[in-house]
Amino acid sequence: MLITKSPTKTTSQSLLHQSVQFLKGVGPKRSEILERLGIHTIHDMLHYFPRDYKDRTRIQKISEAKIGAEITIQAKILAINNRMARNRKYILEAFVTDETGTIAATWFNQPFLMNKFHVGDNLFLHGKVGAYKYLQLLSPEYEVIQDAETNIKEGGIIPVYPLTEHISQTQFRKIVKEAVHHFANHIEEILPKELLVNNQLLPLDKAIREIHSPETFDTLKRAKLRLVYNELFTLEMAMALRRSGIKEETGIAFKSGPNVDAHIRNLIPFTLTNAQERVIHEIKEDMRSSKPMNRLLQGDVGSGKTVVAIYAILVAIANGYQAAFMAPTEILSEQHFQTIQKYLQHSHVRMQLLTGSTNSKYKKDALEQIRNGQIDLVIGTHALIEETVQFKKLGLVVIDEQHKFGVIQRLKLKEKGFSPDVLIMTATPIPRTLSITLFGDLDISILDEMPPGRTPIKTFWISKDKEKDSYNFIHGEISKGRQVFIVYPLVEESAVLDLKAAVTEARKLQHDVFPASKVGLLHGQMKSGDKDKIMTDFKERRYDILVSTVIIEVGIDVPNATVMVVEHAERFGLAQLHQLRGRIGRGSEQSYCLLFGNPKTNEARERLKIMTKTCDGFKIAEMDFKLRGPGEFFGTRQHGLPELKISDLIRDFPILKQARSDAFEIVSKDPHLTQETHQKIRQKVLETFKDRLELISIG
Ligand code: ADP
Ligand code: MG
């Protein structure tokens, strides 16, 4: 017989990774249903957490009912009675009993309840006790207890799982119970003792038991704390490993003395803002260091990121390296190309634009020149990450609007050089809360100051009855030679209906409202090439008005557009509204953002109010994040992060900070997690990030 080194370890692991079919009560059919919930193994089952709990800790007796007080009881229906009261209100009464007495549960105007209840049903009821001719529970909360549940005779704190309709809570609870009963003792602790002690964390197996069947609300809280910590610790561990991996690489130590600096400044036609100076200083320090730069530059639309990027690009080129600048769309790449060309017209920098529509014969030459170093700066779309693109000496990678690319593409471009410096730019202000999690592996620079001489955009919330006046106002702007965006939300899920709505609206505006103006249309079903064409036409003033159902490309520059109308503004999120507003106010003229909308919810009203009060992207982002929560704010998936099952980045921010500092400390002492005490963590991180191994660097 073979002797394995640590038999218990392997056994526990493989036991937990058995199929759920090994659990009692789970056959092929059930396992299919569980599969759809993402539960394949017993481990998955144990980590499928309740979304809520029911408090059954204090079930009282009907004999204890006191008029005016609240009571929770478990009782059986003896009779059901429904009638019409004198005021024509419908009344449903269920007379229920436990072994101590009888009480009537009374609901008003809910006739559908009639079908919910049957004589003989067992109910949990919670409500206020009143008295009419007899004792009553007035409109109590109720739950019909299913047969199986009565047999189990559960009191206590009952978990409620996020399920589909194919499996009931009771059935699911039973399976979880099986899993916990037979397998929870095989769950191994992943954290070193000191962390458990210092943070007063429950052992992992105990936490898993508790989360599924809590003894008390207090222990439940501790179980949650432990599992939240676990999740965030794993995430931060991956960040820490990645960051330390990058820092271990040897990058390029660029030289940038006063000569280069003076040279670059000569090309910039204005005085840099303090924020630009600060950020350029940060970038210069990174570039001088022999560790590769990995920096995120956040700055609202118009804050002047381009010139910062140009500074970095020129430092690289001055040192004899090539630079690559990647933007998410062709039109943005072209725009960047033109802007940068203008800045560099008196320099010797050799530039090349490379996009999907670059003519193939021309492209071949271009690729050759990039390969042999005749090109210093390549600007383009993700065409840049194609295999055919090879650099002679790539030293700097600049990526605009990173959230459109995701981490993987970022890495691909980077791999075209030998540890080049990376600068990522985003105009989406990201609240600090989020950026330290999402971009935990990046250093962050913020441009929080606008260049001088800008007229702040005036934003108005226009109610339905004032829309006509706004159209007159828009007429006025157009007659001054200005251009206008009119944006509609996606009305339907269906692209066809969406298109129809947009076409109809554009036609109506053209014929009924602005017959003398030229109205263009941009909609979600267009191919990206056609979209670019319409945008270009608009930019070149072939249209006065652009009607759009899609979010107009971030970063599109049409200085002559001074009005942004958002129809049904209440249907847009804050971040979207802010992005839309960023399309205007790019010239020297006063710009106006008109938000049409009659919001029905407080939250929607709040959003519109915030928009009229501030133009500060960071403030708006922070509010947005608070209003909507991180899941909505933007999907974590596209950032290459695993889905958070139990944590909430806002609510659990203090735990996140602790987990982060613990993870970074461990990695600072054991950068490749080679120590024996860190093996379980290592396994856990590898397992969690198994689809994204390129994101972490464990030796
Ligand atoms: P972003 O890319 O951050 O949206 P840009 O780099 O496109 O912003 O800059 C917006 C506008 O402001 C450009 O027209 C640019 O020339 C101008 N600009 C940038 N920095 C300054 C500055 N320090 N002083 C004056 N104008 C500036
Ligand atoms: Mg820009």
pLDDT exceeds cutoff 70 at 534: yes
DSSP 643: P
CA 307–ligand 1 middle distance (angstroms): 7
Q: Which domains does the chain have, with CATH numbers?
A: 1-46+161-186 (1.10.150), 58-154 (2.40.50.140), 258-288+304-426 (3.40.50.300), 458-614 (3.40.50.300)
C-alpha to C-alpha distances, 623 to 401, 432, 578, 617, nearest whole angstrom: 21, 12, 12, 10
In this predicted structure, what is the pLDDT of residue 382?
A: 86
- The contacts found for 12-15 with CB under 8 angstroms, 24 or more apart, are 12/186, 12/187, 12/188, 13/188, 15/42, 15/183, 15/186
Which three-class secondary structure state does DSSP give residue 202? Answer: coil
> Which residue CA neighbors atom 25 of ligand 1 most closely?
451
Residue type, 553: E
Which three-class secondary structure state does DSSP give residue 329? Answer: coil
Structure confidence at residue 147 as a pLDDT band (50, 70, 90): low
Mean of pLDDT values over 99-120: 89
Yes or no: say if 315 and 256 are a contact pair by the CB < 8 Å rule: yes
CA 641–ligand 1 middle distance (angstroms): 33
Which three-class secondary structure state does DSSP give residue 196? Answer: helix
In this predicted structure, what is the pLDDT of residue 638?
A: 44
Alpha helices in 352-485 (DSSP H): 360-371, 407-414, 432-438, 467-479
> Which residue CA neighbors atom 19 of ligand 1 most closely?
304
Ligand at minimal distance from the CA of 305 is 1
Best of 271, 303, 344 for a ligand 1 pocket test (most atoms within 8 Å of beta carbon): 303
Distance of alpha carbon 412 from alpha carbon 390, whole angstroms:
12
Best of 268, 306, 423 for a ligand 1 pocket test (most atoms within 8 Å of beta carbon): 306
171 token code pair: 């059935």
Structure confidence at residue 642 as a pLDDT band (50, 70, 90): low
Distance of alpha carbon 178 from alpha carbon 181, whole angstroms:
5
Quick: pLDDT tens for 181-228. 999 999 999 999 999 999 999 999 999 999 999 999 999 999 999 999
In this predicted structure, what is the pLDDT of residue 158?
A: 85
Yes or no: say if 352 and 379 are a contact pair by the CB < 8 Å rule: yes
Distance of alpha carbon 46 from alpha carbon 451, whole angstroms:
54
CA angle, residues 650, 653, 658, in degrees to nearest 5: 165
Q: Show the beta-strand stretches assigned E in 222-376.
A: 294-299, 322-326, 351-354
Atom of ligand 1 at shortest range from CA of 303: 3
Yes or no: say if 33 and 164 are a contact pair by the CB < 8 Å rule: yes
In this predicted structure, what is the pLDDT of residue 113?
A: 83
For 600-638, what is the HEC assignment? CCHHHHHHHHHHHHCCCHHHHHHHHHHHHCHHHHCCCHH
**Mean pLDDT lowest for which of 245-249, 315-319, 583-587?**
245-249
**Residue keyed to tokens 């640590």:** 6
pLDDT exceeds cutoff 50 at 603: yes
Q: What is the CA radius of gyration of the chain?
A: 31
Structure confidence at residue 630 as a pLDDT band (50, 70, 90): low
Distance of alpha carbon 419 from alpha carbon 583, whole angstroms:
35
Mean of pLDDT values over 600-627: 87
Ligand at minimal distance from the CA of 450 is 1
CA 329–ligand 2 middle distance (angstroms): 13
pLDDT exceeds cutoff 80 at 71: yes
What does the buried/exposed string (b/e) look like for 564-591 if buried means 16 or more CB atoms within 10 Å of the residue's CB?
bbbbbbbebbbbbbbbbbbbbbbbebeb
- Residues whose CB is less than 8 angstroms from the CB of residue 489 and which lie 6 or more positions away in sequence, other chains included: 549, 567, 568, 571, 572
Q: What is the DSSP string of 141-177?
A: EEEEEPHHHHHHT--EEEEE----TTS-HHHHHHHHH
505 token code pair: 């609206």
CA angle, residues 197, 203, 204, in degrees to nearest 5: 135
In this predicted structure, what is the pLDDT of residue 279?
A: 97
pLDDT exceeds cutoff 50 at 151: no
Yes or no: say if 268 and 675 are a contact pair by the CB < 8 Å rule: no
153 token code pair: 């005779």
Distance of alpha carbon 49 from alpha carbon 6, whole angstroms:
30
What is the CB neighbour count within 10 angstroms for residue 614? 14
Structure confidence at residue 150 as a pLDDT band (50, 70, 90): very low
DSSP 552: -
pLDDT exceeds cutoff 80 at 411: no
Atom of ligand 1 at shortest range from CA of 300: 3
In the beta sheet, which residues pair with residue 74? 124
CA 227–ligand 2 middle distance (angstroms): 41
Give the phi and the psi of residue 674 in degrees, each rounded to 5.
-95, -20
The size of the chain, in residues, is 699
380 token code pair: 């383009």
Regarding the beta carbon of 304 and ligand 1, being less than 6 Å apart is answered yes
Distance of alpha carbon 229 from alpha carbon 212, whole angstroms:
17
Helix (H) or strand (E) holding 9: helix 7-16
Average pLDDT, the chain: 86
What does the buried/exposed string (b/e) look like for 107-133 if buried means 16 or more CB atoms within 10 Å of the residue's CB?
beeeeebeeebeeebbbbbbbebeeee
Mean of pLDDT values over 86-102: 90
